Amino acid sequence: MIKNMSSLEKIDINKIPLHVAIIMDGNGRWAKEQGKERIFGHQNGIQAIRDAIEAASSIGVRYLSLYAFSTENWNRNKKEVDSLIYLFANTVRNELKEFMNNNIRLITIGNIEGMPSYCQKEFKIVIEKTKNNTGLTLIIALNYSSRWEIEETIKKIAFEIKENKIEINEINEHVISSYLTTANIPDPDILIRTGKENRLSNFLLWQISYTELFFLSTMWPDFSKENFWQIISDFQKRERRYGVVT
């Protein structure tokens, strides 16, 4: 009998995507299925984050973006929001040693200045301490939405025009990209969404024009390294045409 190959063994190490983005959905519904409050799902989702980071690092993915907290999430129950923000701050502080041991650089995108000061403080400490690490860049989207990002980009470009630093006819997609929060970061090759929902939820809408999309029925707390590697393997079988007919 031939032993079944794991998804990791199926991956072509010469065709690793540069950037994988994940919408981590399903924590609350997973908790409800366990008869628990929603925060229980978020707490159990931390291990899935660790698994995604380890899975990405193990095969040489350079950028991993995680949609942690959207601008729309402020509309949730205050108890859940407060607990979630505390969880973010506590987790990033506790993971610093692992980031340093594994050469991981942390950055954030989004309006982090709109987060509570104690949360800002913890993230800024870890960002500063990991800034010279050269392995995986972990991008946490915190208080982020794509519409907010595009609005801010328009304002920045308008100001540059007003200051005579840029001409209107110089504006193109490359210029616009350079003013986004993801400037100098390659667009995602893959976008994964867990939790049974098939929508983008205002995440990286400019950046995912030619991104390969993967929607999973798996709830985020159940997401594993094997799930990650299977998606990479499936991605490598797709033909990316970028609008060109072959």
51 labelled catalytic: no
Angle at 75 between CA 69 and CA 76, to 5 degrees: 75
CA distances from 229 to 32, 52, 58, 103, 237 (A): 28, 9, 10, 21, 13
HEC assignment per residue over 156-207: HHHHHHHCCCCCHHHCCHHHHHHHCCCCCCCCCCEEEECCCCCCCCCCCCCC
Count of other CB atoms within 10 angstroms of residue 89: 17
Rounded-to-integer distance, Cα 154 and Cα 174, Å: 14
27 labelled catalytic: no
- Please tell me which residue in 51, 73, 102, 222 is annotated as part of the active site: 73
Question: What SS3 class is residue 149?
Answer: helix
- Please tell me which residue in 4, 12, 14, 25 is annotated as part of the active site: 25
Active site residues: 25, 73
